[in-house]
């Protein structure tokens, strides 16, 4: 009788040991021998799936934090600090600096009278990654009697990447008839050309001046407001 009881206990303990081995977590204070009322822990598969879900959640959180950090660092390079310093830091970091022509007033070849003051405007778009801060349009054409007069440096309003900017300059024609062209190029706060090897013509004003008088806008001359 005692032998049968011992055999039954051995089988019961062996079965409890096999069930316990299937659990993921091990409690060193608990015996491998099953005890009355023991609560079975999650199976290995369930625990593994839970661990995978936890790791994926942590990885997703880490990726989000890393993205926010990169965006904050980029914003600090572009916008924080004095304007010129931020611009130079952005250029040194390898960001793209580029411009795109959009439109202009007073198209090339416009006929204008002598000794006339008008406003020429260019609309440009910042298609790069560098903010335009403290920049200007610098006149490259000599300011002599053969060319219209204008400011030598035209300030460019602060323009962030993706924004449009309108740059205007007041020009006065000379008392000399003929075809004239005035060129401007963008420079930084130190007066250095922003794109010395690109955009060779820059912002150009090309007009023809004659000794003209104002003509009434009749149906036949809507596109020719001046006549000789």
Helix (H/G/I), strand (E/B), else coil: 200? coil
**Domain assignment present for 51:** yes
Is it the case that residue 212 has pLDDT exceeding 60?
Answer: yes
* Residues 143 and 65 occupy one common structural domain: no
202 pLDDT band, cuts 50/70/90, is confident
**Domain assignment present for 192:** yes
The per-residue pLDDT for 145 is 85
**Domain assignment present for 50:** yes
**Domain assignment present for 9:** no
Who wins on pLDDT, 89 or 182?
Answer: 182
* Residues 168 and 208 occupy one common structural domain: yes
* DSSP-assigned letter for residue 40: P
The per-residue pLDDT for 95 is 78
Is it the case that residue 52 has pLDDT exceeding 50?
Answer: yes
Cα 131 to Cα 175: distance, rounded to the nearest angstrom: 40
Mean pLDDT of the chain: 75
* Residues 169 and 118 occupy one common structural domain: yes
**Domain assignment present for 21:** no
* Residues 51 and 124 occupy one common structural domain: no
- Strands of the sheet containing 164-172, edge to edge, are 99-104, 117-126, 164-172
Q: In this structure, what CATH number is given to the domain that contains residue 121?
A: 2.60.40.10
The per-residue pLDDT for 123 is 95
Is it the case that residue 18 has pLDDT exceeding 60?
Answer: no
Q: Which residues contact 183 (CB under 8 A, 6 or more apart)?
A: 139, 140, 141, 201, 202, 203, 204, 205
**Domain assignment present for 2:** no
> How confident is the model over 160-188, as a mean pLDDT?
92
Q: Specify whether the CB–CB gap between 176 and 115 falls below 8 A.
A: no
Tell me the whole-structure pTM to 2 decimals. Answer: 0.55
* Residues 132 and 48 occupy one common structural domain: no
The per-residue pLDDT for 89 is 59
Cα 82 to Cα 79: distance, rounded to the nearest angstrom: 8
* Residues 76 and 106 occupy one common structural domain: no
* Residues 64 and 154 occupy one common structural domain: no
Cα 8 to Cα 125: distance, rounded to the nearest angstrom: 88
**Domain assignment present for 111:** yes
Cα 225 to Cα 208: distance, rounded to the nearest angstrom: 14
The per-residue pLDDT for 16 is 55
Q: Which of 11, 59, 55, 64 has its CA nearest to residue 33?
A: 11
Domain boundary among 53, 80, 107: 80
The per-residue pLDDT for 28 is 45
* Residues 56 and 156 occupy one common structural domain: no
Lowest mean pLDDT among 106-110, 193-197, 204-208, 217-221: 217-221
* Residues 156 and 61 occupy one common structural domain: no
The per-residue pLDDT for 183 is 93
Other residues' Cβ atoms within 10 Å of the Cβ of residue 104: 17
Cα 148 to Cα 117: distance, rounded to the nearest angstrom: 9
**Domain assignment present for 38:** no
* Residues 149 and 197 occupy one common structural domain: yes
Containing structural domain, residue 206: 99-227
Domain boundary among 52, 80, 108: 80
Lowest mean pLDDT among 5-19, 89-103, 207-221: 5-19
What is the per-residue pLDDT across 110-127, written as a single tens digit (0 to 9) for each? 989 998 999 999 999 999
Domain boundary among 80, 107, 131: 80
* Residues 111 and 169 occupy one common structural domain: yes
Number of domains the chain is built from: 2
Who wins on pLDDT, 45 or 158?
Answer: 158
Cα 69 to Cα 110: distance, rounded to the nearest angstrom: 52
CA angle at 181 for the pair 179 and 183, rounded to the nearest 5°: 175
* Residues 129 and 182 occupy one common structural domain: yes
Instruction: Output the furthest CA–CA distance in the chain (Å, rounded).
Output: 135
* DSSP-assigned letter for residue 194: S
Is it the case that residue 25 has pLDDT exceeding 60?
Answer: no
The per-residue pLDDT for 61 is 82
């Amino acid at each position: 009788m005692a032998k049968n009881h011992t055999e039954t206990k051995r089988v019961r303990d062996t079965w409890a040991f096999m069930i316990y081995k299937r659990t993921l977590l091990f409690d060193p204070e608990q015996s491998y021998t099953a005890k009355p009322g023991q609560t079975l822990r999650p199976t290995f598969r369930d625990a593994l799936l839970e661990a995978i879900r936890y790791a994926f959640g942590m990885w997703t959180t880490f990726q989000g934090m890393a993205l926010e950090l990169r965006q904050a660092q980029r914003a600090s390079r572009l916008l924080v600090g004095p304007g010129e310093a931020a611009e130079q830091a952005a250029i040194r970091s390898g960001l793209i600096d580029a411009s795109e022509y959009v439109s202009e007033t007073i198209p090339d070849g416009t006929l204008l009278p002598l000794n006339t003051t008008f406003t020429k405007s260019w609309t440009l778009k910042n298609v790069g990654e560098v903010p335009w801060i403290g920049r200007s349009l610098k006149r490259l054409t000599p300011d002599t009697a053969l060319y219209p007069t204008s400011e030598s440096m035209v300030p460019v309003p602060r323009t962030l990447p993706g924004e449009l900017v309108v740059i205007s300059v007041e020009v006065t024609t000379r008392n000399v008839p003929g075809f004239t062209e005035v060129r401007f190029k963008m420079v930084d706060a130190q007066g250095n050309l922003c794109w010395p090897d690109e955009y060779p013509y820059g912002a150009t004003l090309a007009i023809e001046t004659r000794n003209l008088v104002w003509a009434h806008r009749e149906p036949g001359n809507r596109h020719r407001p001046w006549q000789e």
